[in-house]
Structure 1
Amino acid sequence: MIVHVDNLVKRYGDLLALDHLNMDVEKGEILGLLGPNGSGKTTAINCILALLQYDKGNISLFDQPMAPDAYDLKRRIGVVLQNVAVFEELTVYENIDYFCSLYVKESAKRKQLVEEALRFVELQEFSKYRPSKLSGGLLRRLNIACGIAHKPDLLIMDEPTVAVDPQSRNAILEGIKKLNALGTTIIYTSHYMEEVEQICTRIIVLDKGKQIAKGTKEQLKNMIALKEKITVEQIHITAPQIAQLKQLENLYECNYQGETLEAKFTGGNHNLLHLMETLQREAVAFGKVYSEKPTLNDVFLEITGKELRD
């Protein structure tokens, strides 16, 4: 087991940030760590890294107890945080070299690792640039290079694609999958559900400091009622006609707002056909119709609730 968190409790005064949290990260996986704001994700990561003291519980990394002075374990970890942390006065190459030097003292070996990291994030042509001259996407890639240059066994990535363009985001995600294929175990947090769905092999959902769900994306989708969502646009429908729709088998929720009808089904193989037949029988005119299977975002909202979090 790469990470084992057992019965972890962390308080900030009267606030219970982690409430007897249990969490495991297995070798070779990309674990998606999800949760609303204030769910305990960042606190859990800081405890795992021994950056925070906690009130109760145990944490082990690579089957060894984790502690603030466990430098042999920390050398095996890479961290890429949401806020870009590089030195403006250093070049791209010098930044990567500096962070790599915290783990690797031998200059010849470090030179090789820095050049490999530059190639990996495709920043070779920018090696002499200072961070202020880089675009947001290039800066994110530099941030990643600084975290991976020493070739960590465990990589923790906290919102690494915030505020980057789609091309840069795609390059970062492809890079993460390559790292994993090379043997790096990754903990990945993001508010972009499509990213988690695209790259994570397993997902843990935290809320109020507890693990409330875990599994593959398919397993999580099977936990919720929604199995199919049908959306009908440019539709004008009356309350009695909606009442007729609500008689459909497997339909458990029907919403009509702004000329858009949304029908949610718990199962069934011919929901779209039955919905269309009912609309035609009721002589309801409509425009575009499309059917969707549940997404990870649907799972997240159903499990954690739809209310806004600070």
Structure 2
Amino acid sequence: MDSQHGPSLSRSLRYSYEQYKATADWLLAHTNRRPSIAIICGSGLGGLADTLKDQVVFKYCDVPNFPQSTVSGHAGRLVFGSLNGKMCVCMQGRFHFYEGHPVWKTTFPIRVFHLMGVDTLIVTNASGGLNEDFKVGDIMLIKDHINLPGFAGINPLVGPNDDRFGERFPCMSDAYDKELRKLAIDVSRDLGYWNNMREGVYCALAGPSYETIAESRMLRMLGADAVGMSTTHEVIAARHCKLRVFGLSLVTNKVVMDYESEERANHEEVLQTGKRSAELLEKLLTHIVGRMDCNSNMF
């Protein structure tokens, strides 16, 4: 047996069902928390996990089979706890293709959460605004996505299908749950946040370089409202497992579309904007989660 990965992974360069289950069973054995909601915190947005009550925390490096996050602004911890009456698990830091992880590894946690009993996935990310009506600090409800790397065959479902997770050809026309989006709209209005809310299409690129002006103009012509380097592969894996998906994208910078502009995208700007807008996003998500209709076992 391969001492690091076991025979299945070393032969096929994919996780086996048994490895997903081993990780899920390890987590279930090490905490009595039983989450129904999983939340992936994007760049600069990991503070949401710190608001959970009755926390149980695991470092990624301590969880069997778990990948490691290498990006600034991603703490690399799983945080279990209660958010407004619902039991959740938060990922403080996600995994990206540009870190060198293949997409079957970046989406590893999704199937683990599914085997733990999670039925709803909330994805958050930091993004660049392509839509000229978007302002820095706006929060976009993701109604659809463009998985641009998928056009080149980079998809977490490539390879043999395991029917224990889902069907070979999952439908993606309903990837982002309409009822949860409607709930988010209602909550944002109740909280007086509607002026900061947008709804649109998120486009994922592989990264880590930011997009050129020509690429940005092309993405806007394709119908994208915001662009980033994550999320879509997680959503595909979640929908394969029949999880409900809800997504929020924080607009941390305006994408440069003008050749005369002196603006330049940089990661520090992303993190700083995330910090400034984190309180609004955390309050919004806390209220949305509290009003979700789901089966949540507190302990």
Length-normalised TM-score, structure 1 = 0.27
Question: Which of the pair has more CA radius of gyration?
Answer: 1
Length-normalised TM-score, structure 2 = 0.27
Q: Which has the higher contact order (CA 8 A, sep 6+)?
A: 2
